[in-house]
């Protein structure tokens, strides 16, 4: 029997940390009537350096917690977690609408005039089967220059979105891409849009940064619409409940800095769940 979900329930958004806020920002614009439940697994950050089986284990437990809160859909707002766990989650929850992320290889390959594309993503994403398949499918004849951006997620989590340290790291990352003539750069991790300004300054206006957040938001809308799960008209939307496995006060500060328009209190995890999720 297929499980029925309640259209007035919240949509869950999951990431290892604050990266998914760049997706939540787009989701809230495309689906202004919806309610959100954002889960940051900051105790396990960075996901990009974790093995796939550990990521699948985290994902299963997080989804169990989210279902207990009452949700109608899940957006895995993390490229790394999507590459490792999306198929497993869908197999275990065939009725739950689950939308995932993937590096925007297809639009970048179409956009690039020179056929040279830079890809910024975590090591786990770059070595995943899902990413390899994407390149085979959409990247024929395109040269990809990839970088696992070691340390960048940590800088962003610490609120360093510009300044000498992070700019030196970004320069090292994009240097080889620029030398090879890349005219499109994929932001293949949801944390990276928060350094898009610094990146664009380094790369210059002729290079396009490709962030799939809006495409994912449109896809989420389509999926909900097709399943009759859009929140009924007239209901007050826009409310977000935030959870983290990390420090709630730090997370609250990060939310205020990055998405002030979506600010809301960070709720403590129930004790039982805290133990389960760590
Ligand atoms: N934000 C995540 C992604 O999109 C990864 C960050 C991490 O390494 O924890 O891949």
Measured in Å, residue 228 CA sits from the centre of ligand 1 at 31
> Averaged over 38-42, what is the pLDDT?
98
Instruction: Single out the catalytic residue among 40, 55, 73, 78.
Output: 78
Probe target for ligand 1 pocket from 38, 48, 146, with the most ligand atoms within 8 Å of CB: 48
CA distances from 7 to 4, 69, 101, 115, 238 (A): 9, 14, 23, 43, 15
Instruction: Single out the catalytic residue among 73, 149, 189, 258.
Output: 189
- What lies within 8 Å, CB to CB, of 53 at 6+ separation is none
Q: Which CATH architecture has domain 10-101+214-277?
A: 3-Layer(aba) Sandwich (3.40)
Weakest mean pLDDT among 32-36, 222-226, 229-233, 247-251: 229-233
Q: Which atom of ligand 1 is nearest to the CA of 49?
A: 8
Q: Is the per-residue pLDDT at 2 higher than 80?
A: no
Correct CATH for 105-211 of 1.10.10.10, 3.40.50.1100, 3.40.50.1860, 3.30.450.90: 3.40.50.1860
Task: Band the pLDDT of 40: cuts 50, 70, 90.
Answer: very high
pLDDT of res. 155: 97
User: What share of the chain in percent tops pLDDT 70?
Assistant: 99
Task: Band the pLDDT of 182: cuts 50, 70, 90.
Answer: very high
- Top pLDDT among 15 and 232 is at 15
Task: Band the pLDDT of 235: cuts 50, 70, 90.
Answer: low
Burial class (CB in 10 A: 0-12, 13-18, 19+), 159: middle
Task: Establish whether 78 is a catalytic residue.
Answer: yes
> Averaged over 134-144, what is the pLDDT?
97
pTM over the 0.85 mark: yes
Same fold, 10-101+214-277 and 105-211: yes
**Structural domain spans, the chain:** 10-101+214-277, 105-211
Q: Is the per-residue pLDDT at 228 higher than 90?
A: yes
Task: Band the pLDDT of 268: cuts 50, 70, 90.
Answer: confident
Q: Where are the alpha helices (DSSP H) in 14-163?
A: 21-30, 52-69, 79-92, 105-111, 123-126, 129-138, 152-157
Q: What is the rounded distance in angstroms from the CA atom of residue 165 to the CA atom of residue 167? A: 5
pLDDT of res. 1: 60
Q: Which atom of ligand 1 is nearest to the CA of 191?
A: 1
């Amino acid at each position: 029997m297929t499980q029925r979900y309640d259209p007035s329930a919240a949509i869950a958004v999951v990431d290892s940390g604050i990266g998914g806020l760049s997706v939540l920002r787009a989701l809230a614009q495309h689906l202004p009537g919806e309610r959100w439940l954002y889960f940051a697994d900051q105790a396990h950050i960075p996901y990009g350096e974790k093995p796939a089986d550990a990521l699948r284990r985290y994902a299963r437990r997080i989804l169990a917690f989210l279902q207990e809160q009452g949700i109608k859909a899940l957006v895995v707002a993390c490229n790394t977690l999507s590459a490792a766990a999306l198929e497993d989650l869908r197999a275990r929850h065939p009725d739950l609408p689950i939308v995932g992320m993937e590096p925007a290889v297809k639009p970048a390959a179409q956009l690039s005039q020179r056929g040279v594309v830079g890809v910024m993503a975590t090591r786990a994403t770059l070595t995943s089967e899902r990413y390899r398949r994407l390149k085979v499918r959409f990247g024929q004849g395109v040269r990809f220059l990839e970088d696992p951006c070691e340390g960048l997620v940590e800088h962003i989590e610490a609120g360093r979105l510009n300044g000498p340290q992070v700019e030196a790291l970004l320069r090292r990352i994009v240097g080889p891409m620029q030398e090879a003539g890349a005219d499109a750069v994929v932001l293949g991790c949801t944390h990276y849009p928060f350094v898009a300004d610094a990146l664009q300054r380094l790369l210059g206006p002729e290079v396009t940064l490709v962030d799939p957040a809006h495409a994912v938001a449109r896809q989420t809308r389509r999926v909900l619409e097709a399943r009759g799960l859009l929140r009924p008209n007239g209901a007050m939307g826009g409310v977000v409940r935030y959870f983290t496995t990390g420090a709630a006060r730090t997370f609250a500060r990060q939310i205020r800095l990055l998405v002030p328009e979506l600010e809301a209190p960070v709720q403590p995890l129930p004790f039982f769940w805290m133990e389960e999720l760590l």
